Amino acid sequence: MPEQLTASVVYPFVNQLVRSTGITGGDERKTGYYAGLIESLYYAVEAVTILQWGRVSDHIGRKPVILVGLFGVTLSIVSFGFSNRFWMIILSRCAQGALNGNIGVVKCNMTEITDASNMAQAFAWLPLAWATGYTLGFLIGGVLSDPAAKWPNSVGHYPLFHRYPYFLPCIVAASVSTSAWLIAFLYLKESTHGTASKNRSASHNDDTQKSSVMWAATIHDKPADTQVDILPRMLDETEIASPVSSSLESTRTDFRSILIPGVMIPVLHYGLLSFVDQCMLVLMPLMYSTSRPLGGLGFSSNTIGLVMSAWSMLNGTIQVYAFPRLLRQFGPKKLYITSFAFFLITFSTYPLMGYMAKHKMEAGMWLVLCVQLVAYIVVYNTYSCIILYINNGAPSKDLLGATNGLAQTLGSMMRAVGPTVVSSLFALSLEKNLAGGTFVYWVMCTIVILVLGFSTYLPKSLT
């Protein structure tokens, strides 16, 4: 949750921050180029480091890596708050990406403490954690940005907030990360048992050493004759293959063992999902903040923060209760494809909202905005589905860290590409008036259709 918060707290004001540095030369249409670069660099640097964090957690445990990650994002977001030059913003964002190693590691931790009876319910809480982070981030970033201008008779008396207008939301975000670090330090229990596993493996025969994770699935609240295979179940630890060796050669061999179709197809889908979702997430504040004559909604950072935080709060709450039921009813593949198709609604509503805003059709604009946000909530079922696919494909429990690290690496790479591509295409669409400034939205709809075609390669069930 804190990592999502520190990543999203900048979205409500990043476009205004870019303009305030003077890098755009006063041309609002160029904002997308520079805002996209800021958002992309975070994920580009994360992509370089995230796999190594996952592999380190396989050796030293999940808890130390989680603590280091929380400490790193705290320092980097404080640095971002003190940044009032474009190069300072870039360096702070890169540091945040480099020190953010927790996303894949937390998924490993959750997999190791769950089984077939509660795995779907447990992973349904992930979107709530993400949504809580996004909700707080959007809310804090929108409401607390430039406080000296908003509250001149109180906060405005302090020169610090005049010189650094976006320091307040960043320091509040950092305080949340600090609290999470303390909670993790005091109460989080280590979920890996590498040393014990090594001792057991010495007494295993050859057949047991060669055995890997076996998967089965049952839905316990359905009648026996209607049980559906959708959730993985791991065998007891004594049946799992020997853990990753500390030698370099063994590490390389283990890493090659995850380069199989059962892992790579879900990992590729995770990358594509990350790309499309990040494009959507970047377009929201960019289009919302753009002036109405240029096809935007002309929202302030306050309004953007409130709208996006309301969406995040509803998204997380609905996911917790809806995902397990939807997964049992439709299965992972059908649910993934159906939910992903809702991206077509989220992107195609942008030009309609822009048209309504330009012609002062306020009621219609807000109605379409609500439809867009509801569709975006449905889309988020895809994350829980694809995470289950990825964990199900891991050759052994000892390779969960490497498997999730690989997925997160590709996801980070695609999230790095997404903001630059979509924000640059947004700016180009406005500058060249391509399709009336709406060209970027139709490109994204085309990409969604292509990904839906690739979805047919996913397995029908988790077996």
144-163, pLDDT tens digit by residue? Answer: 988 988 888 888 888 998 88
Residue 22 backbone zone (phi > 0: left; psi -120 to 50: alpha; other: beta): left
Would you state the pLDDT for residue 366?
Answer: 96
Would you state the pLDDT for residue 346?
Answer: 96
**By CB neighbour count within 10 A (0-12 exposed, 13-18 middle, 19+ buried), where does 187 fall?**
exposed
Supply the mean pLDDT for the chain. Answer: 79
Q: Evaluate if residue 331 carries a pLDDT over 80.
A: yes
Q: Evaluate if residue 327 carries a pLDDT over 80.
A: yes
Would you state the pLDDT for residue 99?
Answer: 80
Provide mean pLDDT across the span 369-378.
95
Could you please state the CATH topology (level 3) that the domain comprising 2-189+247-457 is classified under: Growth Hormone; Chain: A; (1.20.1250)
Q: Which residues contact 435 (CB under 8 A, 6 or more apart)?
A: 429, 442
Provide mean pLDDT across the span 425-431.
89
Provide mean pLDDT across the span 352-356.
94
Poorest-pLDDT segment among 212-216, 255-259, 341-345:
212-216
Q: What is the DSSP letter of 189?
A: P
Q: Evaluate if residue 321 carries a pLDDT over 60.
A: yes
Query: Which residue carries 């982070």 as its tokens?
Result: 133
Using CA atoms, how far apart are residues 265 and 270, in angstroms rounded to an integer? 9
Measured between alpha carbons, how far is residue 315 from residues 31, 165, 426 in Å?
29, 30, 26
Cα Rg of the chain (Å, integer):
23
Poorest-pLDDT segment among 112-126, 177-191, 341-355, 382-396:
112-126
Q: What does pTM read for this prediction?
A: 0.67
Would you state the pLDDT for residue 349?
Answer: 96
Q: Which of 104, 48, 54, 44 has its CA nearest to residue 278?
A: 44
Sketch the domain layout of the chain as residue ranges.
Answer: 2-189+247-457
Provide mean pLDDT across the span 354-380.
94
* Confidence tier at 58 by pLDDT (50, 70, 90): confident
Would you state the pLDDT for residue 352?
Answer: 95
Q: Which residues contact 269 (CB under 8 A, 6 or more apart)?
A: 336, 386, 389, 451, 454, 455, 458
List the Cα angle 442/447/452 in 5-degree steps: 125
The string of DSSP codes covering 259-303 is -SHHHHHHHHHHHHHHHHHHHHHHHHHHHHHS-GGGTS----HHH
Q: In terms of pLDDT, which residue wins out, 21 or 215?
A: 21
- Contact between 64 and 330 (Cβ < 8 Å): no
Would you state the pLDDT for residue 209?
Answer: 37
Q: Which residues contact 279 (CB under 8 A, 6 or more apart)?
A: 418, 419, 421, 422, 444
* Confidence tier at 51 by pLDDT (50, 70, 90): confident
- Contact between 144 and 168 (Cβ < 8 Å): yes
Q: What is the DSSP letter of 256?
A: H
Q: Which residues contact 27 (CB under 8 A, 6 or more apart)?
A: none
Q: In terms of pLDDT, which residue wins out, 91 or 319?
A: 91
In this predicted model, what pLDDT tens digit does every residue of 74-97 receive, in sequence order? Answer: 998 999 888 878 888 888 888 888
Q: Evaluate if residue 201 carries a pLDDT over 70.
A: no
Q: In terms of pLDDT, which residue wins out, 440 or 4?
A: 440
* Confidence tier at 186 by pLDDT (50, 70, 90): very high
- Contact between 214 and 239 (Cβ < 8 Å): yes
Would you state the pLDDT for residue 279?
Answer: 93
Would you state the pLDDT for residue 193?
Answer: 58
Would you state the pLDDT for residue 389?
Answer: 87
Q: Please state at what angle helix 261-289 crosses helix 31-60, rounded to 10 degrees.
A: 150
In this predicted model, what pLDDT tens digit does every residue of 246-268 receive, in sequence order? Answer: 333 444 445 677 777 778 889 99
Provide mean pLDDT across the span 335-363.
94
Q: How far is CA 222 from the centre of its chain?
A: 32
Considering 32-41, 203-212, 369-378, the range whose residues carry the highest mean pLDDT is: 369-378
Would you state the pLDDT for residue 154?
Answer: 87
Q: What is the DSSP letter of 136?
A: H
Using CA atoms, how far apart are residues 138 and 305, in angstroms rounded to an integer? 5
Would you state the pLDDT for residue 393?
Answer: 78
Provide mean pLDDT across the span 300-322.
82
Q: Which of 33, 101, 21, 91 has its CA nearest to residue 63?
A: 101
Would you state the pLDDT for residue 229?
Answer: 39
